[in-house]
Amino acid sequence: MTDLQLPAAPAARPRARRRRPVPWDLVAALAIFLVLAVVDLVLQPALADLGQIGLLLQTGLPLVLVAAAQTMVVLVRGLDLSVGGILAVATVVTASAQGGGPGWIALALAVGIGLGLLNGLLVGPVGMQPFIVTLATWTIFDGIALKIMSTDGGTPPPAAVALATGETAGIPNSVLVVVGLLVAWLLLRRSRFGHRMVAVGTDAERARLNGTPVRAVVVAAFVLSGLLAAFAGVLSSGLTASGSPTIGDRYILTSVAAVVIGGTSLLGGRGGIGLTVLAALSLTLINDIVAAMNADVWVTTAASSGLLLVLVLTRGLVARLSGRRVT
């Protein structure tokens, strides 16, 4: 009934030569950004100037950083709904300077790290769901911001204003911040820690089998997220020259949208800050275009969400057609 003979040894397989798969996520994010940039340029030809670009970038900067913060956590298969809360706390701490020096900026960043650490400890070592943890801490952090400053106001240190709106050697600081963020990300991605993050996000159990300190990596991702969100707060307060305890909430879902448009998988382990930045800038461009067209505010909201839907839909279709796993 059964064949007990060993099959003949097969011929050695030639080394498989396969083409590198097309990086669809990069192509899509770039295409969207370029189309929007061209549309914006046609509407406002004056934009083709470094100073103007810097101004546009300024307004988008907090979103870029919050989205980067969100990316760190999503990469390890988490979700951080509290980024808006951390941002709000950071703006009011920065604006509490009232004539004080750049020490207040450092304090705001340190607070961001602390709040991120709290999230990370609850998710990693305690083992609670990131969604639940950050849903709760979101409101708690908002409350802390309101306790520090019950209405918009205060004065951030001049350094914060300069950081957000000034320029260095003729280059707008906003451009430098974005470039700095991208460089930092490239280094992080190539670092040993970056590999650990990818491993934990891809499959925490397999990462553990390889001896990865999974919980520590999760904590670190949340700390980085807290730091970046606080930095967004510092810049936001520099931009408006005041603190706002309620400014954070508008960034939460937008940050998730930017992560998704940028092609970072919500299932963890794939993607990165580079494309998130591009996506956050695309969302900023939409705002600018809608403003240039003198349309109502609701158009902005609807347009960004519409873009998100269209993108996720196309990605699903492309994945189905090319037989890849949908992310």
Size of the site for other proteins (CB under 8 A): 36
Residue 9 near other proteins by CB under 8 A: yes
CB of 196 to other proteins, least distance (A): 8
Residue 127 near other proteins by CB under 8 A: no
Spatial CB neighbours of 325, under 8 Å, sequence gap ≥ 6: 319
Binding to other proteins (CB under 8 A) within 171-190 occurs at 187, 190
Query: Judged by CB, which is closer to other proteins: 6, or 321?
Result: 6
Cα gap 113→18, rounded to integer Å:
44
What is the token pair recorded at 50? 């470094």
Neighbours of 218 (CB within 10 A): 26
Instruction: Tell me if 93 sits within 8 A of 220, measured CB to CB.
Output: no
Three-class DSSP category at 298: helix
User: Which listed residue (99, 211, 294, 323) binds other proteins by CB under 8 A?
Assistant: 211
Three-class DSSP category at 13: coil
What is the token pair recorded at 102? 């750049």
Residue 319 near other proteins by CB under 8 A: no
9-17, 53-61, 222-230, 313-321 -> range binding other proteins (CB under 8 A): 9-17
CB of 70 to other proteins, least distance (A): 19
Residue 320 near other proteins by CB under 8 A: no
Provide DSSP, 101-125: -THHHHHHHHHHHHHHHHHHHHHTT
> Which residues contact other proteins by CB under 8 A?
1-4, 6-7, 9-10, 12-16, 18, 21, 187, 190-195, 198-199, 201-203, 206-212, 269-270
